[in-house]
């Protein structure tokens, strides 16, 4: 079986359509469709069912996809082992970290460094939507991001949700809040909010929830990185924000009220995400499992 055809097939399944797979692989659709047909001829049965909304796998296609992912992982692990044996070059793990959870995921990345012997860690910081695209393009190996809405094609380890908190400059309120702040009350203040560069995320959820509560939000600034928004508050911008509690640094608490929201909006769902066809190291997954155990203890 041709490994290139197998990889193309796995990408088609993960993307859910030949057109999306062709863009990701930088191959025009006709030759990609041809490779799929050749694989079906080699197997002797249909592997996918085509429809106007994309493709779905047949039972044979589902089995081949799952086994194919195992094969591609094994091949990549063998390639990396051969490179190390030949030149003593360290294996590289490319980790994407969402701006949304930089502080939260720092201990996990440090754990990778301690436990993955002979592996160099390369990190890239971006918003979750950008990192999902990089993962699909295989420019990173794993992503530490907001849990994707569509999980097809991903191996995803969901971590403990993070509470959202209101961050309000002390100059914006006449007195400190007496207790948790209703979301509608927060929405009536001028706002600075997190927003993805590509796709929908927490920004759209927050603004939608506020409108359902009868509040038209006044958004002064949006940005894809918490640090930028905190810098704006430090510059004296009188606006409130809604942030993951894990990302609020101590200096911000000196000039802002950090208040629980009631009811707490279900917003922040950090996750360890990798493509199903990405090489899977036992030590890597054990690090994530240990991190989960530490969270729950």
Average pLDDT of the residues in 123-127: 91
- Across the chain, mean pLDDT equals 86
Q: Note the CATH architecture for domain 90-161+269-296.
A: 3-Layer(aba) Sandwich (3.40)
In 3-state terms, what secondary structure has residue 129?
helix
pLDDT band at 208 (very low <50, low <70, confident <90, very high): very high
Looking at residue 165, its pLDDT comes to 94
Nearest to 24 by CA among 134, 131, 127, 124: 134
Nearest to 148 by CA among 36, 243, 263, 276: 276
Q: What is the pTM of this model?
A: 0.71
Does pLDDT of 153 surpass 80? no
Reported as a single tens digit per residue, the pLDDT across 75-117 is 777 776 676 666 656 678 899 999 999 999 999 999 888 888 7
Higher pLDDT, 295 or 205: 205
Phi-psi region of 37 (alpha: psi -120 to 50; beta: other; left: phi over 0): alpha
The C-alpha atoms of residue 134 and residue 158 are separated, in whole angstroms, by 19
pLDDT band at 166 (very low <50, low <70, confident <90, very high): very high
Does pLDDT of 58 surpass 70? yes
Looking at residue 54, its pLDDT comes to 78
Average pLDDT of the residues in 26-42: 89
Does pLDDT of 16 surpass 70? yes
Backbone angles phi, psi at 123, to 5 degrees: -115, 150
Say which CATH class 3-69 falls into: mainly alpha
DSSP bridge pairs for 155? 274
Say which CATH class 164-262 falls into: alpha beta
pLDDT band at 198 (very low <50, low <70, confident <90, very high): confident
* Same fold across 90-161+269-296 and 164-262: yes
Contact indicator for 184, 214 with CB cutoff of 8 Å: yes
Looking at residue 296, its pLDDT comes to 61
Domain positions in the chain are 3-69, 90-161+269-296, 164-262
Looking at residue 232, its pLDDT comes to 87
Looking at residue 89, its pLDDT comes to 60
């Amino acid at each position: 079986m041709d490994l290139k055809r197998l990889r193309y097939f796995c990408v088609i399944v993960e993307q859910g359509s030949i057109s999306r797979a062709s863009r990701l692989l930088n191959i025009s659709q006709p030759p990609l469709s041809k490779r799929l047909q050749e694989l079906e001829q080699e197997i002797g049965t249909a592997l996918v069912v085509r429809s106007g909304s994309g493709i779905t796998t047949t039972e044979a296609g589902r089995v081949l996809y799952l086994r194919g992912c195992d094969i591609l992982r094994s091949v990549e692990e063998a390639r990396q082992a051969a490179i190390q044996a030949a030149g003593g070059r360290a294996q590289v793990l490319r980790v994407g970290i969402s701006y949304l959870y930089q502080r939260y995921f720092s201990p996990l990345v440090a754990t990778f460094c301690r436990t993955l012997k002979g592996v160099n860690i390369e990190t890239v910081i971006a918003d979750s939507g950008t990192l999902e695209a990089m993962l699909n393009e295989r420019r990173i190996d794993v992503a530490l991001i907001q849990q994707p809405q569509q999980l097809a094609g991903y191996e995803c380890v969901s971590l403990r949700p993070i509470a959202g908190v209101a961050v309000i400059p002390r100059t914006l309120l006449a007195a400190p809040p007496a207790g948790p702040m209703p979301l509608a009350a927060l929405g009536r203040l001028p706002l600075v909010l997190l927003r993805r560069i590509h796709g929908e995320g927490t920004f759209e959820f927050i603004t939608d929830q506020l409108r359902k509560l009868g509040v038209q939000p006044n958004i002064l600034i949006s940005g894809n990185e918490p640090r930028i928004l905190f810098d704006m508050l430090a510059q004296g911008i009188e606006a409130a924000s809604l942030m993951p509690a894990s990302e609020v640094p101590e200096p911000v608490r000196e000039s802002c009220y950090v208040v629980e929201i009631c009811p707490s909006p279900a917003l922040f769902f950090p996750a360890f995400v990798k493509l199903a066809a990405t090489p899977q190291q036992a030590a890597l997954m054990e690090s994530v499992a240990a991190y989960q155990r530490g969270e729950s203890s």
